[in-house]
Amino acid sequence: MTLDSNTSQPADGNLAVADAGAAIAARGLRRDFKGGIEAVRDIDLTVAAGEVFGFLGPNGAGKTTTVRMLCTLLPPTSGSATVAGLDVVRDGAEVRRRIGVALQEIGLDPVQTGRELLELQCGLYGITGRQGKLRAQELLELVGLVDAAERRTKTYSGGMKRRLDLASALVHSPEVLFLDEPTTGLDPASRLTVWDEVRRINASGTTVFLTTQYLEEADKLCDRLAIIDEGQIVAEGTPEQLKAQMGHDVVSLSLDGADIAATEAALSGLPGLERVVVEPDALALYVEDGASSIAEIVRRLDRDGIRVAAITVSRPSLDDVFLRATGRRLEGQEQQSQQPAAATS
Amino acid sequence: MTEVLLLGRRAVREVVRYPEATIPTLFIPLFFLVVNIGQVSKTFPSTTPFLRGQGYVAFQLPVSLMFAVATATSGLALVTEIDLGYFDKLLVAPIRRSSIIFGRLTADLVRGIAGSGLVLLVGIALGARIQSGVLGALLIVLLSAAFGVAYAGFGVLIALRTRNVQATQSSFLLFFPLLFLTPNFVPFDRLSSLMETLARINPISYVIVGIRSLVIDGWDAGKIGVCVLVIVALGIILTALSLRAIATYDR
């Protein structure tokens, strides 16, 4: 169920043509695990060269499994994918030469110093001797770890480890960079540093595919994004396009125990109402003009004797997009029960 | 080849920087050497025929050498790496997966040479005389280290198959029956018939007998040849299984 797609999804016959030149293309990509777990369910993706593409979803949505398949670490159960124009199964070795990877679990060897780790990483990509030393120094400078370069990585803070991991993914100037939750667990300052890094890397021509569970990260950093939930892509587009689909303004009613059905009935036919989404003990009304709707909303609630705790007006966020697509909010990771037919246009 | 050297150098660096991982593995062989000699030296004085005029330490030394080199250290290092995520980083690099194994085995060779060298020196200090001379002593260290490399494949295999630290750690326990169902305390012909049968089908027996021959007998081409053959065969089998395990890891 894709809400909308701005990445022209071509008819099957034109797949090859459409995917030519794409940094990443996946068709019907699927991964099942033992015990009937469908981690990724037949997803289609196209990421253009030079994009920062975000994969937004809660824990367990299938983000990491997708990244592992695209990085050749895990074979798909079915479907196919190409990275830098190469098939991830058939041309795995060549794909590995073209990609940089920083996985969610920061892959650092605690026994080595930052410099040793980068020099070894250079060596594994064929950059040896003086060239390797120079490249390691360059990357240490890039991620601001020169002062800590001679320390073993086990003494690094979370932010430093993340930056070193990022640097180690860049030794060979990859065409496509995969970042699996690059800022999870980081303090806000470190998060901003990583964002700056990602922007700089992207500005030099590297396509970036990043997964995140942070709305702000997807919003601020990504040219385009896909929302993944329970192994399926449920929405795709630029952050602006996705938010624009939601309507103009959101009026949120905190119900504080008021009857949901009665409140919905009272507001039905509200002028300018584009969509209503029911949340536990709350209603989100997507309206043409939030400020001018408030008077009418209050009048109707008053007429029907419905008391609400608060009414707020805001612009739709990616969380609203996520709510509409999945029936729950991503912010705070609350597991709310999905209400059938909750979203009505 | 460069990859193997790079990963080998890293693994050796790990051995040097984490002596706490190696030192305990040397405690058991030295402990057994001292305790066993202390307990049975009166039962087996140097006049005992199979000792050929030497103290019991000469007979026991090869067993301690086996203990010193047969460790699950590489397997444990690998499974820790899997846990930490660094293993994924290596898998996603454009290198042959086999180089990850060979890099680890390089460290086993270095660790084996250092460990068996130390145990041999302690044995000599306790009175053992190497009948095959200095060259023989070098060969003893080399054979022991080679056995350590061959045996390391077992820990690596368990690490890759189970991805579990405890399972990899306990793989070492399997070595106890293998080491004790051998002519470790007395020669084949002094064992009970059941024990002799078990010892004769246990390949480790021939590694011990070969190394022991260099200590007690001098140069016995037959015994050394069989010893080399067993080590090479064990190495080929366990390394091949490890290589297959890493080649099919998540595939």
pLDDT per residue over B123-136, tens digit each? 999 999 999 999 99
Instruction: Give B191-213 pLDDT, tens digit per residue.
Output: 999 999 999 999 999 999 999 99
Answer yes or no: do A125 and B87 touch at CB < 8 A.
Answer: no
Average pLDDT over residues B79-106: 95
Give the position of tokens 């790079």: B6
Nearest CB neighbour to B92, from listed A73, A75, A109: A73
Domain holding B114, by residue range, is: 2-247
Q: Report the pLDDT value the prediction gives residue A12, as an integer from 0 to 100.
A: 43
Domain count, chain B: 1
CA distance B102 to B212: 29
Q: What is the 3-state secondary structure (H, E, C) of chain A?
A: CCCCCCCCCCCHHHHHHHHCCEEEEEEEEEEEECCCEEEEEEEEEEEECCCEEEEECCCCCCHHHHHHHHCCCCCCCEEEEEECCEECCCCHHHHHHHEEEECCCCCCCCCCEHHHHHHHHHHHCCCCHHHHHHHHHHHHHHCCCCCCCCCEHHHCCHHHHHHHHHHHCCCCCCCEEEEECCCCCCCHHHHHHHHHHHHHHHHCCCEEEEEECCHHHHHHHCCEEEEEECCEEEEEECHHHHHHHCCCEEEEEECCCCCHHHHHHHHCCCCCEEEEEEECCEEEEEECCHHHHHHHHHHHHHHCCCCCCEEEEECCCHHHHHHHHHCCCCHHHCCCCCCCCCCEC
In a 3-state reduction of DSSP, which class is residue B142?
helix
Whole-structure pTM value: 0.84
Tokens of B209: 């007998």
Give residue A212's pLDDT band: very low, low, confident or very high (50, 70, 90).
very high
Give residue A19's pLDDT band: very low, low, confident or very high (50, 70, 90).
low
Number of C-beta neighbours around residue B4 at 10 A:
19
Instruction: Give A236-295 pLDDT, tens digit per residue.
Output: 999 999 888 877 788 999 988 888 889 989 998 999 888 888 888 888 888 888 888 899
B74 pLDDT above the threshold of 90: yes
Q: Which of A198, A207, A240, A227 is CA-nearest to residue A330?
A: A227
Give residue B18's pLDDT band: very low, low, confident or very high (50, 70, 90).
confident
Average pLDDT over residues B41-64: 92
Q: Which residues of A touch B4 (CB under 8 A)?
A: none
Which class in CATH covers the domain with range A247-333?
A: alpha beta
Give residue A8's pLDDT band: very low, low, confident or very high (50, 70, 90).
very low
Q: Report the pLDDT value the prediction gives residue B21, as an integer from 0 to 100.
A: 81
A14 pLDDT above the threshold of 50: no
pLDDT greater at residue B132 or residue A142:
B132
Sign of the Cα torsion B144, B150, B154, B156 reads positive
Average pLDDT over residues B165-181: 87
Give the position of tokens 């002062």: A147
Say what the ipTM of the complex is: 0.88
CATH number for the region A12-108+156-242 comes to 3.40.50.300
Give residue A105's pLDDT band: very low, low, confident or very high (50, 70, 90).
confident
Q: Report the pLDDT value the prediction gives residue B175, as an integer from 0 to 100.
A: 82
pLDDT greater at residue A326 or residue B166:
B166
Answer yes or no: do B251 and A116 touch at CB < 8 A.
Answer: no
Give the position of tokens 């051995």: B15
A216 pLDDT above the threshold of 60: yes
Beta strand pairing status for A273-279 and A310-314? unpaired
For chain A, which residues make up each domain, given as ranges? Answer: 12-108+156-242, 247-333
Nearest CB neighbour to A112, from listed B10, B91, B94: B10
CA distance A125 to chain B (A): 6
